[in-house]
Amino acid sequence: MVEAPASAIDQIPDGRIPTALVDQELESFGTPDPRILVCGCGGSGNNTMNRITHIGVEGAVTVAINTDKQHLDHTRAMQKLLVGRHITRGLGAGGDPVTGRRCAEAGRDVISKIVGGADLVFVTAGLGGGTGTGIAPIVAEEAKRSGALVVAVVTTPFTVERRQRMQRALEGLDLLRKAADAVLVLDNNRLLHFVPNLPLEEAFSIMDQLIAEIVKGVVETITLPSLINLDFADVRAIMKGGGVTMMLYGESDQGPEEVVHESLNHPLLDIDIDGATGALIHVTGGPYMTL
């Protein structure tokens, strides 16, 4: 008869469990990292994916969704989805949100699989066009249905553009507000005052950079360790059902007072904190930053 060897615990005097064993078991029960997606819808959203890929966002998966195959082919993202191929033949929605929505409806099952299981989903788009305006609300709907916290970051058209484009943007924004937990709206008109003489493409790249920095800031607040830790539960508690959201962003090498001033007076952000019911504050500084 062969006796089974004593377990590690059986061999320990008085049944005491070494700290190393306890730590090893605790590690196996650690809280899993939240699954975070950043979905760029349409041409503007895809451009934001390029910017996010360029600056890098720790812990997020980037997804580009479009009806325009050529634009999608030149977009840098971890996952890409061309929707409505049989409707538009990959040539885009032609500025018509109804067509964009039809394409998204045709690809709803695939969209659902992409966002399924995510804990936090960012949806970015430029409102007023066909693809972003039509697709973004459906992406938000499917993400919300899967149980994710959904945050939309969108831009609105210039006032000099056709009135119809602004009307479409407002209709798309209304659908997004119903589908997402929080919606951050950035007004392209502020570019006219901030960089009035820049070529249009360069001006838009500034807005893309701002959106990318906003997304990066929220994501890395969750995914990277900090001295005063904020986790996903904190973010969910603040943003769940938050409605229209404002984001403050500022940086300075002149001390904390200047950072606050820059945040409250950012030329591209519409700041009005009256009536705010909660806030998340994330501060990044050097090794000599004090309380």
Average pLDDT over residues 249-268: 69
CA distance 272 to 133: 26
Which of 3, 50, 22, 13 has the alpha carbon at shortest distance from 212?
A: 50
pLDDT in tens, 36-86: 999 999 999 999 999 999 999 999 999 999 999 999 999 999 999 999 999
Q: Whole-prediction pTM value? A: 0.80
In the chain, % of residues over pLDDT 70: 76
Q: What is the pLDDT of residues 113-135, one digit of tens each?
A: 999 999 999 999 999 999 999 99
Structure-token match 């403050």, residue found: 248
Q: Are 73 and 101 in contact (CB under 8 A)?
A: no
- pLDDT, one tens digit per residue, over 273-290 is 666 666 777 677 777 777
Residue 75 pLDDT: 98
The secondary structure of residue 91, as a DSSP letter, is B
Encoded amino acid at 27, one letter: E
Give the number of other Cβ atoms within 10 Å of residue 85's Cβ.
14
- CA separation for the pair 288, 256 (Å, rounded): 13
The SS3 call for residue 23 is helix
Domains of the chain: 36-264 (3.40.50.1440)
- As a whole number, mean pLDDT of residues 169-176 equals 95
H/E stretch holding 206: helix 200-223
Q: Greatest CA separation found in the chain?
A: 91
